Amino acid sequence: MTQGFRIALIGGGNMGGALAAGWLRTKRGGITADDLVVIDPNPGDVVQDLVAQSGITVLPELTADAAAGLDLVVFAVKPQVFEQACAVIADRLPAATGVISIMAGVTINRMSMALGDRPIIRAMPNTAAAVGAGVTVCVANDAGEALEKTVTRLLKVAGTVEWVSDERMIGAVTAVSGSGPAYVFLLAEALAGAAFAEGLPRELADKLARETIIGAGALLAKSGKSPQELRRSVTSPGGTTQAAVDVLMGGGGGLPELVRQAVAAAERRSRQMGQEPGKR
């Protein structure tokens, strides 16, 4: 990417702020403070810090002057305000300006109806993007290889980037990696609660749960082994881990079946959100 690639970030909350910070602090993609404008009447703390540190421009709405010459618009607003945001800016965007959406449930077709025929990429990141350890999955209309490569470079500030060819997969992606961090946080919460119930001090229980999950994730990332292999390697027949796993795997399918049902429920909700503009 060359210098002067102009980006408007619509929404300066947690995810928008994480992306903006990543672009400016890591210098990836050649984005400078002069190349970026954030559109948000009430930007979050990260964006406010970037204003103080880097001097980026923040506007309450996208003006005609700011829209002129834009190469890319990134929608990082809540899905329920998408149409409202589009109503203000749609007629101001140059026809060649590409669009990235990180809004859950908003389809490419819905974006095209609001923004016209233009290159559109739908992306689903997750909350670990805030620390550069997320995973983002993208799907595009006929956006072109050059723009797709540019978007990959831009989104890599948030972690791993993957692409799918069928937008129907995004519902499952949302249910697994998009919502997945919440499942892991719930596990940490439950594990800490169980440790406390067994008599450990609350602070120690919280720390053991947190560090155990961090360590297990690092081992999964670096060992090259599958989750099944790693689980079996720490589950000695007749031992303490086996006793616990028997409980987690038992009773109507156990934890695997509960996770399957949870992911299916999230995927259904993702599809519903795409069909119910303004009702989320």
237-277 pLDDT, tens digit per residue, is 999 999 999 999 987 889 999 999 999 999 999 888 766 54
pLDDT of residue 65: 82
Residue 16 is assigned to a structural domain of this protein: yes
Query: Where does a domain end: 117, 140, 167?
Result: 167
Q: Higher-confidence residue: 3 or 238?
A: 238
**Percent of the chain predicted with pLDDT > 90:** 59
Instruction: Share the mean pLDDT of the chain.
Output: 89
| pLDDT number for residue 31 | 82
Instruction: Look at residue 23 and tell me if it is in a domain.
Output: yes
Ranking 86-90, 137-141, 176-180, 238-242 by mean pLDDT, the lowest is 86-90
Q: Let me know whether 104 and 34 are in one domain.
A: yes
> Is 279 a member of any domain?
no
Q: Is residue 35 part of a domain?
A: yes
Q: Model confidence over 51-82: pLDDT tens digits?
A: 998 889 999 988 888 888 889 999 999 888 88
Q: Tell whether 142 is covered by a domain.
A: yes
Q: How many domains does the chain have?
A: 2
pLDDT digits (tens, 9 = 90+) for 90-128: 888 888 899 999 988 889 999 999 888 899 999 999 999
Report the percentage of the chain scoring pLDDT > 70. Answer: 94
Same domain (yes/no): 248, 223: yes
**What pTM, to 2 d.p., does this model score?**
0.87
Q: Is there a single domain that holds both residue 155 and residue 257?
A: no
Give the domain range for residue 198. 180-273
Q: Is the per-residue pLDDT at 2 higher than 50?
A: no
Per-residue pLDDT, 78: 87
Are residues 236 and 124 located together in one domain of the fold?
no
Q: If pLDDT is split at 50, 70 and 90, which confidence band does 278 have? A: very low
Same domain, 81 and 199: no
DSSP annotation string for the chain:
--TT--EEEE--SHHHHHHHHHHHHH-GGG--GGGEEEE-SS--HHHHHHHHHH--EEESS--HHHHTT-SEEEE-S-GGGHHHHHHHHGGGS-TT-EEEE--TT--HHHHHHHH-SS-EEEEE--GGGGGT-EEEEEEESS--HHHHHHHHHHHGGGEEEEE-S-GGGHHHHIIIIITHHHHHHHHHHHHHHHHHHTT--HHHHHHHHHHHHHHHHHHHHHH---HHHHHHHT--TTSHHHHHHHHHH-STTHHHHHHHHHHHHHHHHHHHHHH-TT--
* 172 domain residue, yes or no: no
Q: What pLDDT is recorded for position 83?
A: 84
Give me the mean pLDDT over the 5-25 stretch: 89
Identify the CATH number of the domain in which residue 192 sits. 1.10.3730.10
